[in-house]
Amino acid sequence: MATPTHPGPPALQQLERPPLYEAIAERVLSHVIQSDLRPGDKLPGERELARRLGVSRTTVRQAIVALQVQGVLEARHGGGTFLTRLDGDSPAVARVVARRSRLPAVLEARRALEIPLASLAAERRTDTDLVAIEAGLQQMRDEVAAGEIGMAGDGRFHAAVTAAAHNPVLAELMAVLADSVAETRGESLSQAGRPPRSLADHERIAEAIAAQDPAGAADAMRAHLDHVSALRLFSWDPSSQEPR
């Protein structure tokens, strides 16, 4: 008799990827929430949003159109794009609310995995690992200097730290959680002033790993994840969004 198969735990299943424009629509809403925009406030232009989010203006335009259809945004000819409403009646807003309920568990998982990963990386890193960590840092420096939020460099840095720990099981767990972890990065880095502070956190983690200081690396990663966990999204109430 064949052994029955069972699906894996829901928390460890890969998230279904939405179309890119839907994902960017949620990132636009994250910017709105983290920037404390209210109905009637103007959003950055398409070019600025595309630069910050690292996607094409066409994708940003598709995301804005989707949010217009849902009544969240309003485009005024020659005047820009404005926030109309921000409540759970919009599917995009509902997805952001659902993500908020899931993020605390993801952040707990990041603490459980990434703090010991940083410690192991400090013990086991090779010169090749240090080159990869520095490459991630430099990419984030370049992105932040260009006014972007640094998502690609951030992800590359953390992947290099994971690789430097030389633990294939922990690496596999991080790979399973990759999409969820990226959500926490996007939410954190979308907050005003956060990218340069996150870069400074990464510099401290890298310094401790280079110095082969496991306790220091763990402490630096713990402090970084404390900062990542301080999300305005957690205190945001869509039912209280009134015009200024």
Report the first-to-last Cα separation within the chain, whole angstroms: 66
The predicted pLDDT at position 198 comes to 97
CATH of range 103-234; options 3.65.10.10, 3.40.250.10, 1.20.120.530, 3.40.640.10: 1.20.120.530
Task: Label residue 149 by pLDDT band (50, 70, 90).
Answer: confident
Task: Label residue 1 by pLDDT band (50, 70, 90).
Answer: very low
Residues 7-21 have pLDDT tens digits of: 444 444 444 555 677
Where in the chain are the domains? 20-90, 103-234
Task: Label residue 217 by pLDDT band (50, 70, 90).
Answer: very high
Fold of 20-90: Arc Repressor Mutant, subunit A (1.10.10)
The predicted pLDDT at position 207 comes to 98
* Residues contacting 52, CB < 8 A, separation 6+: 31, 44, 147, 148, 149
Residues 22-58 have pLDDT tens digits of: 878 888 887 788 777 888 999 988 888 887 776 788 9
Q: What is the spatial distance between Cα 215 and Cα 209, in angstroms, rounded to a whole number?
A: 10
Q: What is the spatial distance between Cα 69 and Cα 7, in angstroms, rounded to a whole number?
A: 36
Examine domains 20-90 and 103-234 and report if their fold is the same.
no
Instruction: Give me the mean pLDDT over the 124-149 stretch.
Output: 95
The predicted pLDDT at position 166 comes to 98
Instruction: Give me the mean pLDDT over the 91-104 stretch.
Output: 82
